[in-house]
Amino acid sequence: MTTRLASIDLLRTIAIVTMVLVHFSENLAGYAPPLSGLGAPLFVFLSGTSYFLWSDGLVARDLSDDAIARVSVRRGLFLFGAGFAFNLFVWLPEDIFNWDVLTLIGSALVMLAFMRRVPREVLVLVAAVSLLVAPILRGMAGYAEYWENGYFESDLTLSDVLVGYLATGYFPLLPWITLSLAGYVTASWLFSRRTGGGGSGADPLRIAAIGMGLVAVSAALLLARPFLAGPVAAGMLGGWTMFPPTTEYVTGMLGVAMASLAFGHRFVDPIAASGRLAGAFGVARTFSQYSLTIYVVHHVVHLWPLWIYGLRETGEPTAHWMRAMPAGMALALGGGFLVACLLVLRTIGSRRSFGFEALMRWVCD
């Protein structure tokens, strides 16, 4: 079992908390809090980071590359399939090809399974190419046509399915794969290899500097956009939006994630290793360990009652979507869900034998 890093647990907890509060607020009240757009990129970035640490631990246990790849592909396909199931059962049947976070992370796992041995520089290139190609693909596909009502809608045709998967869905492969790949590469730079007996990680502050440099690039692009030529400004840039995930947004969030992870490893991990603030780090560890479970459960908890109530009252499940209650109540419900989650997980989750993660391990490992 790999040693958990408190910095990763903390960042993933921030992502989860942000995600829960934003989803509760948006779906129940139609209000997008200021933290919208923070959780998802952090979560996707950390999925790459965690994959590195997990595979590195398997290498340390002398598992063959072939075996690691097999398990990785199984997990990836599991998540990919779980994504479809999630859309089908938690959202609505017509949302099955929405291409949500689960299908993205599943795709990322499968890709990383095969690209794990590729030189890091090549991974960086792939991430950069995916970031730069994404706006071009969106332009080709006519992104706006798929988001006419403010949410993703597509026809059930092969071309639309693929276009949505690659470029126009909620979490299309391009450019979101950039974050996952970047998370993997950052982890390989930052954390010492436990295998081979040698090689210490890079200086975290140097990684943090790179992250902040990316934030600066993003800021510069945002500021310079009005002054750039039309094809560049319109084709490659798009301001700071999550839907679509513009170049500035992805660059900036990538920088935030890298800097956060680097600073966390530099300053937070030593504190955790010394035993201080054990309670707080324990909370973070619980949330982090059950992140996928919380992702699924929080949707069920706040959407199913909404659909049931809507169906009962008006015959239309989405009748009260985004307008069921005030924002404050929605946020309070979100917070209450988080507290209840923590209590339940601390009580019955110590064995780690239940939940989404345990199911995945049981099926795939």
Site residues, another protein (CB under 8 A): 59, 117-119, 121-122, 125-126, 129, 133, 136-137, 140-142, 155, 157, 159-160, 162-163, 166-167, 193, 195-200
Q: Which of 94/155 has CB closer to another protein?
A: 155
Q: Which of 104/294 has CB closer to another protein?
A: 104
Q: How far is the CB of 48 from another protein (least distance, A)?
A: 17
- Distance from chain centroid for Cα 355: 19
**What does the alpha-carbon distance between residue 58 and residue 289 come to, in Å, rounded to a whole number?**
18
Q: How far is the CB of 359 from another protein (least distance, A)?
A: 31
Q: What's the sign of the alpha-carbon dihedral 134, 139, 141, 147?
A: positive
Q: How far is the CB of 264 from another protein (least distance, A)?
A: 23
Q: How far is the CB of 315 from another protein (least distance, A)?
A: 33
Q: Which of 75/116 has CB closer to another protein?
A: 116
Q: How far is the CB of 148 from another protein (least distance, A)?
A: 15
Q: How far is the CB of 337 from another protein (least distance, A)?
A: 39
**What does the alpha-carbon distance between residue 181 and residue 237 come to, in Å, rounded to a whole number?**
21
Q: Which of 67/223 has CB closer to another protein?
A: 67
Q: How far is the CB of 155 from another protein (least distance, A)?
A: 8
Q: Which of 1/156 has CB closer to another protein?
A: 156
Q: Which of 162/273 has CB closer to another protein?
A: 162
**Closest listed residue to residue 284, CA positions, set 4, 2, 1:** 4
User: Is the Cβ–Cβ distance between 174 and 181 less than 8 Å?
Assistant: no
**Closest listed residue to residue 139, CA positions, set 248, 236, 242:** 236
Q: Which of 142/270 has CB closer to another protein?
A: 142
User: Is the Cβ–Cβ distance between 225 and 237 less than 8 Å?
Assistant: yes
**What does the alpha-carbon distance between residue 269 and residue 16 come to, in Å, rounded to a whole number?**
20
Task: Specify the 3-state DSSP secondary structure of 111.
Answer: helix
- The tokens of 338 are what? 């988080």
Q: Which of 158/229 has CB closer to another protein?
A: 158
Q: How far is the CB of 202 from another protein (least distance, A)?
A: 11
- The tokens of 91 are what? 């959202």
**What does the alpha-carbon distance between residue 194 and residue 265 come to, in Å, rounded to a whole number?**
16
Angstrom CA distances, 107 to 53, 111, 154, 166, 175, stand at 18, 6, 20, 11, 12
Q: Which of 199/336 has CB closer to another protein?
A: 199
**What does the alpha-carbon distance between residue 151 and residue 86 come to, in Å, rounded to a whole number?**
17
- One DSSP character per residue, 72-117 reads HHHHHHHHHHHHHHHHHHTS-GGGTTS--HHHHHHHHHHHHHHHTT
**What does the alpha-carbon distance between residue 289 and residue 304 come to, in Å, rounded to a whole number?**
24
- The tokens of 42 are what? 């952090």
Q: How far is the CB of 112 from another protein (least distance, A)?
A: 15
Q: Which of 157/347 has CB closer to another protein?
A: 157
- Distance from chain centroid for Cα 52: 15
Q: How far is the CB of 167 from another protein (least distance, A)?
A: 7
Q: Classify burial at 93, counting beta carbons within 10 Å of its beta carbon; exposed 0-12, middle 13-18, buried 19 or more.
A: exposed
